[in-house]
Amino acid sequence: MSHIKNLIPRTVNPDIQKERSAASFDVQEFAAWWQGGLAKLNTKREIERVLFDDQEDGYGLKHEYMSHEEVYNCMVKNLCEAAPKLKALQQRLNPGGSDIWPACLTNVQATGLFPGNHPLATHITMFVDVIKGQGTPEQVDKWAKAAENCNIIGTYAQTELAHGTNVRGIETRADYDVKTDEFVLNTPSLEAYKWWPGGLGHTANHAMVVAQLYINGQHKGIQMFIVPLRDAETHMPLPGVDIGEIGKKLGMHAVNQGFLGLKNVRIPRTNMLMKYTKVERDGSFTESPASRVNYLTMVYTRCLIVNLNATLLLEAATIATRYSAVRRQSPIELNAPEPQIIDHVTQRLKLFPEIANGMAYHMAAEYMWEQYDQTVLEANNGKFDRLPDMHILSCALKVLASTDGCAGIERLRLSTGGHGYHIAANMSNIYGNAVAAITYEGENTVLLLQIGRALVKAWANYKQGQPLSASYAYLASSMQLREFPKWDNSWQCILKALQFTAAHKTRIAFENLSERMAKGQSQAVAANNTGIELTRAAELHGRQFVCQTFMEQITGAKAKKRSQALNAVLENVLELFLVQTVLNNMSDVLRFINLTEVDLRSLQKRLELSLEQLRPNAVAICDGFDFHDKVLNSVLGCYDGNVYPRLFEAAKRSTMNQKPVQKSFETYLKPLMKSSL
């Protein structure tokens, strides 16, 4: 297809070049800051050079014309061909580390390497890390290195066909046989089959199975077990293992999610992870010192989800913003030339808040990783005080990042008009990868209810005069105010208003819950009937946290390390995020805070002004995220801005265009056209 290659100009679209020339800050400084330093930026670019420079033309699109089975096998092939490159890069750039191999199987480069996804993500992000985090030193030595090197491939099997977010309700059980020093695992019904684990279908030969532990018929809670699934040589399922793939999904095409049934499958006692909870040879049981220690796995995974969805949102924002700088349509002045659509204020409102949202969630995730590392350090030393707060905050961030991210990606797709509907725009794949996070690792509404219950518990502690942890401290400080102070339009004022509103929503949820219980409802029934108030309070709890974290990251001590020009741009993004957040939640804010017409008009003007001020820097900000063209994989979002030649090239690559007449013409269409009714 050499004629296709000639369609793409070697020059950059002049409109998008004009945008870059107008930027008020140094894009390289932004990119280095975004990646965590110049050294990390340079390493990232070197990795991408090695991985992407020799990719064939059309690499990112060809899987769209394959069958389901072909996509899976193609992505496995791509993965196995990439592995030696990644291992060699790891050895050359950071010997002994894991930031390239296996990290590049799950970070942003993975979408460029595996445009149809791949089946090892769950192995890397959960199977390996759960062993490291909750295995004994002996178990880590036995399993972790082999798993990291992919000598064994695992998955994380928790969700069942009939049980998801309610982990305590899962039916898979592991009975300890003291005579043989083994656990016997069973899925006692069809509903108990494991369902959805990535890579389980035809890739993994081990699984981290989450099951109910029983010793001498006594229930000992939820535990995790390493279960071999397939023969190491033939890859055939082992006796008692019923395994396969669940079929095609909306997205994640080659992730190979599977089902798993177990019938009297025996594993050694030492295959149960025992860093915290232990089963001895004689069947004696030692419970974990912290009942919620298994939440560490969920906290870790939810932090990954926030990172992932923030990245996917920013990928979509980059595509839509670059396209909006190239696309010209609908004169603003009568008889004037068609402007770039990014000059329409309504288009800016579709684009720029999503840039701000993605940056805010990215910053919140960075903060959470710092807190997670500290929590793990404390847990290793027997301290678990921080874990409940980390669990609740990670739930809140996972909910908001996935909900806002998916809504934002769809909004951005719509902002690109008809061309965004084309598969080569890649908006549909980005959405398909993002939207699953609304359900997996805790369905969002269920998580909001968990947060809501934690909030009313914290409120009860406050009412009883007990001290509150840092993440709930705003409840007390807000309630010390008889009424909200006069609106002064500052960022701190907006943050305090959101906290004041969140505190009162928690108060209302607590009062309604208490009232229902006073009328004779059980606590569980009353909580169900208070679900609307609980979820709304939970959402606002999360939003005030994101606003507070974003503001601290942009205006705090770290700002001194950045140039004045870069700080000015970041403060513009922060302004847009805070103003948009308070406007989006104004119906609740006005319930508790008396804003005047002047105050409301001022917020609207600030929104419009922030959009206007962001306009000259929008393309450059997206450049600063430093997404490689192979990662974006979009004809609308390429760095050179040559949208229309790339769209036409993608059309030419359609398998139907490789021959001028389809076989259905002679067989069906021609007879129809020649028939007489």
Query: Was 432 annotated as part of a binding site?
Result: no
User: What are the tens digits of pLDDT across the range 329-360?
Assistant: 999 999 999 999 999 999 999 999 999 999 99
User: According to the model, what pLDDT value does residue 380 have?
Assistant: 81
d(CA 168, CA 187): 15
Mean pLDDT of 77-86: 93
User: According to the model, what pLDDT value does residue 294 have?
Assistant: 65
User: What are the tens digits of pLDDT across the range 42-68?
Assistant: 999 999 999 999 898 889 999 999 999
Query: Was 159 annotated as part of a binding site?
Result: yes
Label residue 558 exposed, middle or buried (CB < 10 Å: 0-12, 13-18, 19+): exposed
Are the C-beta atoms of 290 and 379 separated by less than 8 Å? Answer: yes
Are the C-beta atoms of 198 and 214 separated by less than 8 Å? Answer: no
Mean pLDDT of 412-424: 97
d(CA 325, CA 418): 16
Half-sphere exposure of 529 (CA within 13 A, CB side): 15
Tokens of 393: 């905050």
User: What are the tens digits of pLDDT across the range 268-325?
Assistant: 999 999 998 999 999 999 987 665 666 777 888 899 999 999 999 999 999 999 999 9
Q: pLDDT averaged over the chain?
A: 95
d(CA 336, CA 248): 49
Mean pLDDT of 503-520: 98
Label residue 141 exposed, middle or buried (CB < 10 Å: 0-12, 13-18, 19+): exposed
Enter the pTM of the model.
Answer: 0.94
Catalytic residue IDs: 441
Nearest in space to 78 (alpha carbons), one of 114, 108, 110: 114
* pLDDT score of 663 more than 70: yes
Q: Which residue segments constitute the domains of the chain, with CATH numbers given?
A: 1-35+294-677 (1.20.140.10), 154-290 (2.40.110.10)
Kindly give, in sequence order, each residue whose CB lies less than 8 Å from that of residue 337, ignoring residues fewer than 6 positions away. Answer: 328, 331
User: According to the model, what pLDDT value does residue 435 have?
Assistant: 96
User: According to the model, what pLDDT value does residue 352 have?
Assistant: 98
User: What are the tens digits of pLDDT across the range 592-619?
Assistant: 999 999 999 999 999 999 999 999 999 9
Tokens of 206: 């081990």
Half-sphere exposure of 530 (CA within 13 A, CB side): 29
Tokens of 583: 């406007």
